[in-house]
Amino acid sequence: MNEKIKRMTRGVLAQRAAVNSETIRYYEKIALMPHPARSLGGHRLYNDDHLKRLVFIRRCRELGFSLEEIKNLLGLVDTGDYSCDEVKIRTEAHLSDVQQKLRDLKKMEGMLKDLVAECRNGKLSSCPIVEALYS
C-alpha cells in the first residue's frame, strides 16, 4: 500500500468514509475517534485504522445505535477481549429498543389517523384536531 493511502487528511478521510468532516471532529471531541498523528506542519494525518473505525461508527449510526451504545461496543472491540455473545447481547438489546419504538410509532400512527378522520370538513370554524390536542 502506498504512503498516500496510509496517511490522509480529514477531508479525504471524510470522503472515503462518507461522513461530514465536522462529524470526525465531533467524534474526536467525544473520544469515539482517537486523535490522529500530526505532520511537522501540524496537519492531522489519519490512517486506515481511523477509516475502519469511522466506517464502523457510521454503520452503527445507520442502524440506530446511540453514541453511548457505540462507545460501549468500541470499548469491547478496543480491548480485544470480547466474545460474539457479548456483542450479540448488546445488539439484541438495541433490537428490542427498535422494536419498542416501532410499536410506539404504530400506536402514534393510529392516533393520528383517528384525529384526521375526525376532521371531515376543513372549512369548519372549529377544528376537531385542535380541540383533541387541547384536551
- Rounded to the nearest angstrom, the gap between the alpha carbon of residue 125 and the centroid of all alpha carbons in its chain is 44
Per-residue pLDDT, 122: 64
Give the burial class of 13: count Cβ atoms within 10 A of its Cβ; 0-12 exposed, 13-18 middle, 19 or more buried. Answer: buried
Return mean pLDDT, the chain.
90
pLDDT mean over 99-113: 95
Q: Between these two residues, 122 and 91, which has the higher pLDDT value?
A: 91
Pick the closest to residue 36 from 1, 56, 25, 74 (CA basis): 25
pTM score of the predicted model: 0.80
CB neighbours (10 Å) of residue 29?
A: 10
| Alpha carbon distance 10, 89 (integer Å) | 34
| Alpha carbon distance 53, 122 (integer Å) | 52
Tell me: the pLDDT tens digits for 4-41? Answer: 447 999 999 999 999 999 999 999 999 999 999 998 99
| Alpha carbon distance 73, 79 (integer Å) | 10
Task: Quote the percentage of the chain above a pLDDT of 90.
Answer: 71
Going along the chain from its start, the domains and CATH numbers come out as 3-134 (1.10.1660.10)
Per-residue pLDDT, 130: 85
Q: Can you read off the three cell numbers belonging to residue 80?
A: 480485544
Q: Between these two residues, 116 and 45, which has the higher pLDDT value?
A: 45
